[in-house]
Structure 1
Amino acid sequence: MTQANNPLHGVTLEQIVTALAAHYGWEGLARQIDINCFKKDPSVKSSLKFLRKTPWAREKVEALFIASKLPPRA
């Protein structure tokens, strides 16, 4: 099966969070998506831990990444 129409194909959650944090900053990201992992002592590591356990939050982060049309960051 091909993932040609999936805009997240080949992009890791870490790349998504890193790109969004670089673009919006942690405060801006917290304004975009109101979750504590972006508000209180934010880091990529703590955000990944939360997002991997919380599907609804991960969906919001992925949707913002797609809407923002940002390139993934390593």
Structure 2
Amino acid sequence: MSITTQKNNPLHGKTLAYVVTQLSEHYGWAELGYLLRFNCFIKDPSVNSSLKFLRKNEWARKQVEQLYLDTFSA
């Protein structure tokens, strides 16, 4: 991706770990599990288990990223 492509990307510079951490601090794991219905948020939730799941499942990662944008974008 070129710099011009990234200029309008609101997630540029934010790691997946950062996104998951911010969402878990904002909503809590129980609410995240309710909103997205992923086992990594419901059963023994942690940032590491969430990252492992989200890195293997692009469709799930996109949902988490969209929730982050919906929650924290002005």
Query: What TM-score does the superposition give when structure 2 sets the normalisation length?
Result: 0.91
Q: How many residues align?
A: 70
If each structure's helix is expressed as a fraction of its own residues, which one has the higher value?
Answer: 2
What residue is the counterpart of 1:22 in the other structure?
25
Residues of 1 paired with 2:29 and 2:61: CA distance?
16
Which amino acid is 2:36 matched to?
Answer: I
Residues of 2 paired with 1:5 and 1:69: CA distance?
16
Unaligned runs of 5+ in 1: none
Identity of aligned pairs, percent? 56
Q: Indicate the structure whose relative CO is greater, using CA pairs within 8 Å and at least 6 residues apart.
A: 1
Shift of 1:65: 0.3
Alignment partner of 1:8: what SS? coil
Shift of 1:56: 0.7
Stretches (4+) displaced over 3 A:
none
Query: What TM-score does the superposition give when structure 1 sets the normalisation length?
Result: 0.91
Residues of 1 paired with 2:27 and 2:34: CA distance?
9
Counterparts of 1:1-74 in structure 2, within 5 Å, are 1-2=2-3, 3-69=6-72
The structure with the largest alpha-carbon Rg is: 2
Which amino acid is 2:17 matched to?
Answer: E
Residues of 1 paired with 2:32 and 2:7: CA distance?
28
Unaligned runs of 5+ in 2: none
